[in-house]
C-alpha cells in the first residue's frame, strides 16, 4: 500500500485530501508546513507528496525543490488556489510532476495520484503490464501468458510508448521524434507500417488494441 504525504497549512484541506486518498486505499501522513513535511519525509517511507504552495515557515516552492534534490524519483503533486500559468510553470521548473487547482474534484485528485504512481513505477521497473501482456524494457522482451516474444527494436519501442499512457493520442510526428529521433529523415508513414505489423502480431491477443484516431494519430486502448 502506497503512503502519501500531504503538506498543507489548512487543516480542512488536509483532512479532505487524506479522506479522499484513504478511501482510495492509500495510507496518509500529514504536515502543516514545509519544514514539518521534510521532517516527516525523513522519518517515514513516502511514495508520493501532495503539497500546497502557500504555507508558513517553508512554502511549497522551497519544499518541492528540497524534495526533488533529495529524491529525483519522488512523485510530487502541487495544490494551488489559483490557476495562473506562471505558478504552473514555476512548479514544473522546480521539479513538480503535476498540479491541481483548488477547489478540486476528489475523483480527479485520486486519478492524478494513481497516474503519477503508475508513471514512476514504470520508470523504475521498466515494465508495463496490460491484459496478459508484459513489456520488459530491460530485456526488450514481450511476455504473452507463458510465451516470450522478441520484437524488432522499433516495434517494441513503439508499443512501449503507446502502452505507457493508454488512451493518450500520439501524432505520427510525436512518435517519430520520440522513437526515431528528431533528425530522422524518412517518411512519417513509417509509423503506419510499424503499427500494421504490431496489429498483425497481436491480432489474436485480447485485452488491448491499437486504435487509429482519424486526422490525429494512434492510441492504445486496454479493455477487459
Q: What is the pLDDT of residues 54-96, one digit of tens each?
A: 899 999 989 999 998 888 888 999 988 766 677 777 888 888 8
Please, what are the domains in the chain? 3-125 (3.40.50.2300), 127-222 (1.10.10.10)
Which grid cell is 131? Answer: 491484459
Say if pTM beats, i.e. exceeds, 0.75.
no
CA angle 149, 153, 157 (to 5 degrees): 95
Does residue 75 sit in helix, strand or coil? coil
**Per-residue pLDDT tens digits for 161-190:** 999 888 888 898 889 888 888 777 777 789
Q: Which residues contact 193 (CB under 8 A, 6 or more apart)?
A: none
Find, among 142, 171, 166, the residue nearest to 155 by Cα: 142
Amino acid at each position: 500500500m502506497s503512503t502519501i504525504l500531504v503538506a498543507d497549512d489548512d487543516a480542512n484541506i488536509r483532512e479532505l485530501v487524506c479522506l479522499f486518498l484513504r478511501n482510495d486505499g492509500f495510507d496518509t501522513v500529514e504536515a502543516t508546513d514545509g519544514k514539518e513535511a521534510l521532517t516527516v519525509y525523513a522519518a517515514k517511507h513516502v511514495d508520493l507528496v501532495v503539497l500546497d504552495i502557500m504555507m508558513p515557515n517553508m512554502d511549497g516552492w522551497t519544499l518541492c525543490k528540497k524534495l526533488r534534490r533529495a529524491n529525483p524519483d519522488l512523485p510530487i503533486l502541487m495544490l494551488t488556489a489559483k490557476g495562473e500559468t506562471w505558478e504552473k510553470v514555476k512548479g514544473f521548473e522546480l521539479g513538480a510532476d503535476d498540479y491541481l487547482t483548488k477547489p478540486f474534484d476528489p475523483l480527479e485528485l485520486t486519478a492524478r495520484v494513481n497516474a503519477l504512481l503508475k508513471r514512476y513505477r514504470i520508470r523504475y521497473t521498466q515494465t508495463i503490464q496490460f491484459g496478459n501482456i508484459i513489456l520488459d524494457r530491460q530485456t526488450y522482451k514481450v511476455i504473452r501468458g507463458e510465451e516470450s516474444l522478441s520484437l524488432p527494436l522499433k516495434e517494441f519501442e513503439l508499443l512501449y510508448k503507446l502502452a505507457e499512457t493508454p488512451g493518450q493520442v500520439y501524432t505520427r510526428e510525436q512518435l517519430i521524434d520520440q522513437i526515431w529521433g528528431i533528425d530522422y529523415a524518412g517518411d512519417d508513414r513509417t509509423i503506419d507500417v510499424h503499427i500494421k505489423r504490431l496489429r498483425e502480431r497481436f491480432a489474436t491477443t485480447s485485452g488491448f488494441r491499437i486504435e487509429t484516431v482519424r486526422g490525429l494519430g494512434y492510441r492504445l486502448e486496454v479493455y477487459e
